[in-house]
Structure 1
Amino acid sequence: MTAIQNPTAAAAAAREPGRNTAPSKPVPRHRRRTWPQIAESIAKHSVLIVLSVVFLMPLFWMVTGAFKTQADIGAFPVKWFPETITTGNFSYGLATFPLLQYFWNTLVICVPSMIGAALSSAMVGYGVSKIRWPWRNGVFTILIATMMVPFYVTMVPLFVAYRDIGWTGTYLPLIVPTFFGIPFFIFLMRQFFLGIPEALSDAARIDGAGELRIFIQVILPLCKPALAAVMLFQFLASWSDLLGPLLYLTKSSQYTLSLGLTFFQGAQGDTAVGPLMAVSTIILIPIVVLFFFAQKTFIQGITMSGIKD
């Protein structure tokens, strides 16, 4: 069976050149931890708990505020839990906020963007990690250096360029650039590819496969965790993006969830804090569900991208 027919088995064989037949060593007993070690563990967990509370506090305030009355939200001292649970905020928010329309507009941007980011970053990452050509490390260094250039530096030139070619007022400026590679995702994919043994791609070349066939049939099936991490990162970025839609979208019928929520907040003023929190809670649900089901693959892709054989 060739490497192209079964890349997973070939990868396992490449990583395990021989089977260790030596008898296993006895498992040592766990040593009893000393008091300094216990104190250090308590201190670390205490810091993690405090940081978790700090980061989760805004989320908790938003979710509970969605079920509070306006009096409970503005009460002082602060009421952390609603005295009277109400669903009126959801009714009012859904009646005045075109959620389904904005949700569809956001998906129109998110789905193509995450596909384009994953494919382009994987192709470039493969080119600078597995294909031997002059100056590949220099080109990769230049790509990574572009990460230090803030978006605000290129914001105006990009807007002028997209305006001149007639892309303003469309979703194209928010989708097309992802198909040309994103430096951070290229770095992520390259690090993952470096963890794949060279013997695997060399075996495929001996079988007569070209680089494109090796990439599609051998490498891509092995990098599903990294691709999932890239797609999740890009989906979250497009889902929560505010500046991009604010720059390029000109009609209210094109608004995304983030942009529509901003104008909903501005139009209603301080009297609609409850409905604003209710709509924000609804918008957050798909992200939580997505991360809940994809967290194992996401974490695996991030951790394996730091492994280099």
Structure 2
Amino acid sequence: MMKLTLNELAGLVGGEILRGEESATFTGFASLKEANAGDVSFFGNEKYAEDLKGSRAGVVLLKDESVLPPDGCAVVKVENPVMAFDTIIRKYAVPRPAFVAGIHPRASVDETVKLNPDKVSVGANAVIEAGAQIGDGTRIGSGALIGQGVRIGRDCEIAAGAVIQYGCIVGDRVILHPCVVIGADGFGFEFAEGRHQKIEQLGIVRIEDDVEIGGSTTVDRARFGETVIGEGTKIDNQVQIGHNVVIGKHCIVVAQSGISGSTRIGNYVTLAARVGIAGHLQIGDGAVLAGRSGVITDVSPGEKVFGYPAKPFKEFMRNSMYVKRLGALFKRVKALEEASGAGES
């Protein structure tokens, strides 16, 4: 159970006490709106300024002193309130289920699989097929399927029901949440002889180190070569990534987005929720694709686009203002036509 004095709290997060008694103690943590007198909270987004002003938290971590909580609430100034709060959570929150090495008796592990049963955890009804390799410290959840020849690195978490199909490669410290599917066939068909005929998908998926992929996301194998998810990239739930897509390092892909085949995405790119990207495009480093954008042309490095078809943000907003003014413009034109007699039949 957490029990920290204000002085200990400031030391833990590397912060400066701006207000409050150093000996005051705190035993919990919560959001600004839900926190009570014994709780630690944080202010990391200007959208929650009103919550800060009305918060009943015992202490708030913040960076900017321009907005403060009510009198009686202690304040600790930190460089990054979100990360400071996360430091406390990681130290004192209820821990995840402990890592227990060993192979569950109801798991099916082929005799040719390379793993150390004293350093790997394999849950009930998990299946690991021939020739797979599992790194030390990795946890395979209940009902997961690891296909033939799959290679998984160290300290990974493959959650319940996740599937990694044959031949795919997963780096170190990768997290795959429940029901992720890695390496299903790409959506490749050729219309011939009056029907859609399946085109063989011979490539793999390669996931680099420190990637996290949310529940029910699917990453298709390449037709040839590799579909790649770059180091440190974080992918939300229910995302579809097509065959031969290459996503760079440290990208963010938010829920229900879809990336069509052979598109290449640079490093540090952000796809907000429900973005759709057509195939065979280039998305430059640092680009931002706003929510529900439909991208059908290349996007330059650092560019922010929005809408369908996606356009640079300023252009989209300007066009939106023009559209809003069309009704008034039509009325003016009609009035001018009537005044000049041009509108008479």
Q: Tell me whether the two structures share a fold, i.e. TM-score over 0.5.
A: no
TM-score of Structure 1 vs Structure 2, range by shorter chain = under 0.3
Which of the pair has the greater relative contact order for Cα pairs under 8 Å at 6+ separation? 1
Structure with the higher helix share, 1 or 2 = 1
TM-score, normalised to structure 2, is: 0.18
Structure with the higher strand share, 1 or 2 = 2
- Decide which structure has the larger Cα Rg and report it: 2
